[in-house]
Amino acid sequence: MTPGSTVESGDDQLDPLTIAERWMLDGREVAVATVIETWGSAPRPVGSHLVIDEEGNFSGSVSGGCVEGAVISEAADVIASGEPKMLEFGVADETAWRVGLSCGGKIQVYLERVG
């Protein structure tokens, strides 16, 4: 490699927003989920992303794997309607969601369609 040249780093392969852009250019429908707020010992910090396509393929994370399934199923609705959604997950949150964070935290996730 020549000095000063830029290459796609290994980081880009795992970067959700870079992946979202790539999927978009491939003509796939994409939703972006973002951690907006956390309370207690939430596993992923505010600003973390999970990106999902219309077939349920996903990359990144908004929790340590606790609530991704629920976010992915909601993403299908958001992709279809184009309306953003605010999701909340917490400990023993049985009423709204059948999933919770095992670590005892609480998170708010904003889900929006790209385009």
Partner 1 sequence: MDPHLLKKLNEARRARQAVIMLTELADGRNRLVKKGDPVSGELGEAVEKAFRTGKSGAVEAEGQRFFFNVHVPAPRMVIIGAVHISQALAPMATMAGFDVRVVDPRTAFATPERFEHVELTADWPEDALKERPVDAFTALVAVTHDPKIDDWPLISALKAEAFYVGALGSRKTHARRVERLTEAGLSEAEIGRIDAPIGADIGAQSPEEIAVAILAQVIAALRKPSQSRKD
**Binding of partner 1 by 8 (CB under 8 A):** yes
Shortest Å distance, C-beta 52 to partner 1: 13
Q: Which stretch binds partner 1 (CB under 8 A): 52-60, 65-73, 82-90, 91-99?
A: 82-90
Member of 4, 27, 94, 98 binding partner 1 (CB under 8 A): 4
Q: What is the full DSSP assignment across 43-61?
A: SS-TT-EEEEETTS-EEE-
Q: Which stretch binds partner 1 (CB under 8 A): 56-64, 65-73, 88-96, 107-115?
A: 107-115
**Binding of partner 1 by 86 (CB under 8 A):** yes
Whose CA is closest to 61, among 30, 25, 32? Answer: 32
- Measured CA to CA, the distance from residue 40 to residue 63 in angstroms comes to 13
| Largest CA-CA distance found in the chain, in angstroms, rounded | 58
Whose CA is closest to 63, among 20, 105, 24, 115? Answer: 105
**Binding of partner 1 by 103 (CB under 8 A):** no
**Binding of partner 1 by 17 (CB under 8 A):** yes
